[in-house]
Structure 1
């Protein structure tokens, strides 16, 4: 079941979001905070949430762009937060996580995060926050990793903006002793897990991103993240 919801931010603003809950769930179960890509809230992100819910996860997508009227400015502000490692968007994500943790169908000790593109960068940052049991970033901005929860990460080999980062991330997670599954798909570009919408999405196919949905890579990535979640998120226990 997928519904439009709202939750309170720390500054008193009420923010919208989308909550997707597995059909027929009885009792508490694992959940995900999902951060969308730079295109914002759209049908593709809702589709991804439904597919994850079908695997047994309650999924909250907080609408981080709801505060602004111009999407480009929202993206720029969010990217600034990513690069600084602090800012309003991270505060809003945390408010959403607390709201999700309080839901009766959610086990507060079993919450992970997943994100795509811009959202993947947030998922990478959140992996080091100590608030999530698992993180699944997709084709994020390359960032320094000093600590992390278990991580399953996915990149496209044709995406020039993340070239080589998957290998560096895998080496860093191994150095930290963090359980991980990092894969770079050689035939995929940026945004291979979803279909970039509209004219802007079509234009990114010919940019350094090489952004285009790639079904074989997307299907394998879905299989990998679900298997990783089964191992590191579905079980009971405290956050690492």
Structure 2
């Protein structure tokens, strides 16, 4: 799939990103793909290519652009190296709820002006940290987000997080798909139940399910990658967008 390096002006600077489009020219509905905590890398570019192949124009932003650049992580070992884990946690902490919302507005404005994009409604999807971001964006931009997905997302209904997605349930107009990992400390049973209750009470069209796989199951360079769960994730994402964001 064609890829183009682009820059998105934001309130805080300039965000580098890649724009992924189908092979045949034309305008398509847009999707914002949010990466996991280790940030953008070739694995996510390939995932954006695959998503573009389904008939979407996909924006893959460097969510850590405010740092001015950072060395890539060695994914298999990052959580076993204390210094690297600390570096990763520091990057994650820099991405506040307010920053997420500001950036999303910039991304949406950018997409609205692109000839490769059709319509005003978009999809969001995210992985691990990006799954939480995907739902936060749906809550803060309900007029623009038609479909939102979270795969092995963490902290989706934490009581000590003022930016938790479950607190935005009554503002979400998107159809939502949440696929959790099995025995995931980042999304324990009580959060699953809290998110389910919040979405149901708010009348959000949603699905929350647990895959028999570990956290990180859908990202091919993760050591916990699970091919069967990954294909299940693609089938779910395809169905969600086909219904709520038809290409």
Aligned to 2:94: 77
User: Which one of the candidate residues 104, 121, 125 is aligned to 1:114?
Assistant: 125
1:109-164 deviation line (CA, Å, top 9, x unaligned): 23111111111111111121213111111222223233222101111113222122
Q: Distance in 1 between matches of 2:11 and 2:119?
A: 19
Aligned to 2:81: none
The Cα shift of 1:166 comes to 3.5
Aligned to 2:20: 20
Give unpaired runs (5+ residues) of structure 1.
203-211, 236-240
Aligned to 2:6: 5
Alignment RMSD: 1.9
Q: Structure 1 stretches (4+) deviating beyond 4 angstroms? A: none
Tell me if 1:221 matches 2:233.
yes
Q: Distance in 2 between matches of 1:161 and 1:96?
A: 27
Aligned to 1:191: 216
Q: Note the 1:119-198 alignment, pairs <5 A.
A: 119-129=130-140, 130=142, 131-140=144-153, 141-143=155-157, 144-145=166-167, 146-147=169-170, 148=172, 149-164=174-189, 165-185=191-211, 187-196=212-221
Give unpaired runs (5+ residues) of structure 2.
71-86, 158-165
Q: Distance in 2 between matches of 1:167 and 1:219?
A: 25
Aligned residues: 213
SS at match of 1:134: strand
TM-score using structure 2 length: 0.79
Q: Distance in 2 between matches of 1:169 and 1:50?
A: 31
| Counterpart contact for 2:30–2:58, Cα < 8 Å | yes
Q: Distance in 2 between matches of 1:66 and 1:178?
A: 32
SS at match of 1:218: helix
| Counterpart contact for 1:110–1:234, Cα < 8 Å | no
Q: Distance in 1 between matches of 2:130 and 2:218?
A: 13
| Counterpart contact for 1:150–1:179, Cα < 8 Å | yes
The Cα shift of 1:9 comes to 1.1
Q: Note the 1:199-238 alignment, pairs <5 A.
A: 202=223, 212-234=224-246
